[in-house]
Amino acid sequence: MKILGIESSCDETAVAIIDSGKILSSLIATQHDVHERFGGVVPELASRRHMENIVPLVSGALQEASMDLDDIEGIAVTNAPGLVGSLLVGISMAKGIAYSKNLPLIGVNHLEGHLNAAMLEFGNVPTPYVGLVVSGGHTSLYFVEGFGKYRLLGATRDDAAGEAFDKVAKLLELGYPGGPAIDKVSVNGNAKAFSFTKPQFSNRTLKGVTPREFDFSFSGIKTAVLHLYKKQNDLSKKFISDLAASFQESVAKILVDQLIAAAKTSGAEAVVISGGVAANRRLRSLLKERADTEKLKSFIPSMEFCTDNAAMIAYIGERRLELGDKSDFTLNAVGNQEIGI
């Protein structure tokens, strides 16, 4: 089934076409040049750039797949969660194509796309597995029994891991996006130069929400980095590299510790990571190392499937259409929407 997928939830416009799980084309337009000077994504500017990119990307994806819109059998589009203005650009394009060509429309949750992105590369991951979606906006841990059968095991109580990377990188004047910048400078740093206390959670209710055993928190580590930075008189390259490497090591360890613990507790056969932060080299190597030690199968997608892409959206759309699921034209953008609750 030939599905055209559209992704525009944040600052990357992406369009892809898949057929029976095989990627026929996949194009992505980034906006780093737009947001770099601000040290983060500016929603209004992101929406405008999506409007500039969306039509050329659809045309380019069709050309790369050697087809036209008459060959497409369904349109999948991210409708949640994300920046509402950005989501609306993709949704409007998807609705226009679906209406004009009388095609089924499928709204896709961005988190479900990330959670299943590994399928595009590895085929079927053995179930049950525990999946970690870790990005600039999300740090969520899921128990996956099968397609569409997700249970939320833990999520961040404050900053997402990617957001913490961006803020620390901005503090250390390393540039944007923060994840790749810290990853790069950490190569020359001593990851044991500074130690950070791992967050400890009680069983008390927090803001009306019962805490989960496998929740995350990164605000304390981020604050500790700030204090170390302010106390340092000589901000040498070595100090910055050591601090960045130590921060990265601490975040990677927290993520992997929770993922492995959740897998062992739930009896999962495998662990999967996805999302932009899953491109971090230290996180990838540490997870492989720990999973091998614990005799768990690990599925770590290539970089192209970690960052935001439309192939994962098209994949979900194809699976859901096969199950008879589709959206109507009241489909709207939803800024915040979890799965597996």
pLDDT in tens, the chain (341 residues): 999 999 999 999 999 999 999 999 999 999 988 998 888 899 999 999 999 999 999 999 999 999 999 999 999 999 999 999 999 999 999 999 999 999 999 999 999 999 999 999 998 899 999 999 999 889 999 999 999 999 999 999 998 999 999 999 999 999 888 999 999 999 999 999 999 988 876 554 444 445 578 999 999 999 999 999 999 988 999 999 999 999 999 999 999 999 999 999 999 999 999 999 999 999 999 999 999 999 999 999 999 999 999 999 999 999 999 999 999 999 999 999 999 87
Kindly list the distances between the CA atom of residue 330 and the CA atoms of 105, 274, 306, in Å, as whole numbers in the listed order.
11, 30, 30
User: Alpha helices of 25-116 — where are they, by DSSP H?
Assistant: 32-35, 43-64, 84-101, 110-115
Global pTM reads 0.93
* Tokens (6 digits) for 292: 């091998």
Q: What CATH number matches the domain at 2-115+307-322, 3.30.365.10, 2.60.40.10, 3.40.50.10490, 3.30.420.40?
A: 3.30.420.40
Decide if 2-115+307-322 and 125-305 have a common fold.
Answer: yes
Domain regions of the chain by residue span? 2-115+307-322, 125-305
Those residues whose C-beta lies under 8 Å from the C-beta of residue 81, and which sit 6 or more positions away, are 9, 109, 110, 111, 137, 138, 334, 335, 336, 337, 338
Residues 6 or more apart whose CB falls under 8 angstroms from that of 210 comprise none
What CA–CA distances, in Å, run from 296 to 7, 8, 258, 272?
32, 34, 14, 10
Tell me the CATH class for 125-305. alpha beta
Paired with 297 in beta bridges are 270
Q: For residues 330 and 290, give the distance between their C-alpha atoms in angstroms, rounded to a whole number.
A: 45
pLDDT of residue 51: 97
Nearest-10 crossing angle of helices 178-186, 237-266? 110
Closest to 121 measured CA to CA, from 325, 333, 304, 337: 304
